[in-house]
Amino acid sequence: MKITAVIKQTSLALLFLAPFRLFALSFTDEGDPKKLAAAIVADMNDEQVLAQTFMLGWVGAEPSPLIMDWISDRNLGGVKIFGWNTSDTTRLAITVGELQKEALKGAYQIPLLVATDQEGGWIRHVKGATSETPGNMAIGASGYPQDSYRAGYYIGRELALLGINMNFAPTVDLYTNRNSVLIGPRAFGADPVTTGILGAAFMKGQLAAGVIPTAKHFPGHGDTDLDSHGILPKIDVSLEVLWSRELIPYRMLAKEKLPAVMSGHLAFPNTQAGGVPASLSSWFLNDILREKIGFQGLIITDDLMMNGATASAGSLSKAAKQALAAGNDIILFSKTPLLFDPVWTLLLSAMKDEPEFKARVQDAARRVLEVKLTYLRGEKAVPSIPEVEKLKNNLPDPEGAAFFLDLAARSVTVVKDAPFPLPPKDAGTVLLTGQYLDFFKQGKAAYPGAKSYWYSEDFGINDFLTHARAADTIIFCLSDAAGLRFLRALEPLKKKVVVVSVLTPIHLDRTPWVDGAIAVYSYANESFVAGFSVLIGRIGAQGQLPFSLNEPRWIAPQ
């Protein structure tokens, strides 16, 4: 055969094949996200559709072979970064890049949603070189929406550098039950409207940094002292109470086009959902969140491996099916299931046998792709492959560091105002008592001659009192019920006692006899800098307590 004939035949073959190459659907195609998402889902097989609704965690700093198999073999939709993945920030950025490179090899070149919990303050899953911040309750104490916007923005900028494009924040749970061990300082405060305003500002700050915000834990985790990681909390309030209290922030955020909501493993037996967790309840997710509130974004479950979900459904695979059928668009697992785990095979079988369930999963995948197409493309989008060389000079964020110190200073709250200021010359012999290294570091800077005592049940209260008797002034760092027992032992000594409360200051209800008390809302170094600056009179305290003490609902530990 002549060469010209070969070329002619090859050209004809390429012409025949060209439409399939030129018009194959891709995430990079231009066009309306809603239409492109629908077209891609219509082109996918069942396995590809279902996998877009999965978000998985894995154990270790490096990608596990199993999580890589889920990406390459299953077209996985998203991954979740937990604290056990993040001790080395540079390694984390490299890992995210490796995961995304594998995802972008897929048939439609769809990037992963890469999510984490970086609320600020107490909850900071990405540790390493990222900023420690004063947290939500400090923002509530400052009271400025601009503070919430900038907190969301600077936290978002740090996440974006690491390739993390979704954050499970803001937390808009209300601080309704003061005994809550799960919420506490994660809340902006107790007022629903203020929480809605501050939550919306945080959301917009995250979006300005290119990160997709996710409000949680719908419909509200703040009115229980139980932790849904271990048990299904039951909250005995009516829909009328929820509508006028816990749901107000979601109503406000939905109007501001919130991209995503996390559903909580919480039961509300006095509502139409009965004993079914909100995360598995079509009534809560469709009738209330979608229809009554008008929310149009993604709904993501809290970790389905939590007992609050599996105990109700009977098994993990049943919980997963119930969650998707109820209206969740993404089902979250903290660990990586095997490729043919029942959680996968049951759902895939249901798609083949139940047309209504298949349509629901297709709708969920369409919503996932629409959010990805909206937020993971364009100039503001978080780069899929992090630029590791930028980390050294930008983590922690230099501008953010200055802001978070300012926020800490604005949020310091005087709970009992005597005897401030307390300069070193007026304090006499000072004993610093606490359990945080930064408390002692900043306490020594403020009171150079102070002694230090790290209280512990191992040494006992009598040993502590021996040291306390030798001091004129005791500055006590209070953060929990264990510390409260040591603090209350000081009352008979009739010493000058000043409390620096960290996290939530609820325990101050039990110590009305102390001479003075201030509240900071995290154990970040900046919070202790600000707190001691108020104590010695370098700055004034501007914060207002974002909830009321001495309320009947609050039952202090005995």
CB 382 within 8 A of CB 111: no
Which residue among 117, 302, 303, 438 is the active-site one?
Answer: 302
Q: Which of 222, 237, 160 is nearest to 192 (CA)?
A: 222
CA atoms within 13 A of residue 256's CA, in its CB half-sphere: 23
Q: Which of 189, 23, 63 is nearest to 544 (CA)?
A: 189
Asked about 302 being catalytic, the answer comes back as yes
Strand residue runs (E) in 383-484: 413-416, 430-434, 451-454, 473-478
Asked about 221 being catalytic, the answer comes back as no
Q: Say what angle helices 398-411 and 525-535 make with each other, to 10 degrees.
A: 40
- Cα distance between residue 202 and residue 197, in whole Å: 9
Q: Say what angle helices 65-74 and 89-103 make with each other, to 10 degrees.
A: 30
CB 344 within 8 A of CB 331: no
User: What's the angle, vertex CA 373, arms to CA 261 and CA 118, rounded to 5?
Assistant: 40
H/E element, 298? strand 298-301
Which residue among 46, 88, 227, 229 is the active-site one?
Answer: 229
Which value, in Å, is the radius of gyration of the alpha carbons in the chain? 26
- Cα distance between residue 387 and residue 406, in whole Å: 29
Spatial strand order of the sheet with 473-478 comes to 413-416, 516-519, 496-501, 473-478, 430-434, 451-454
Report, as residue numbers or ranges, the catalytic residues: 229, 302
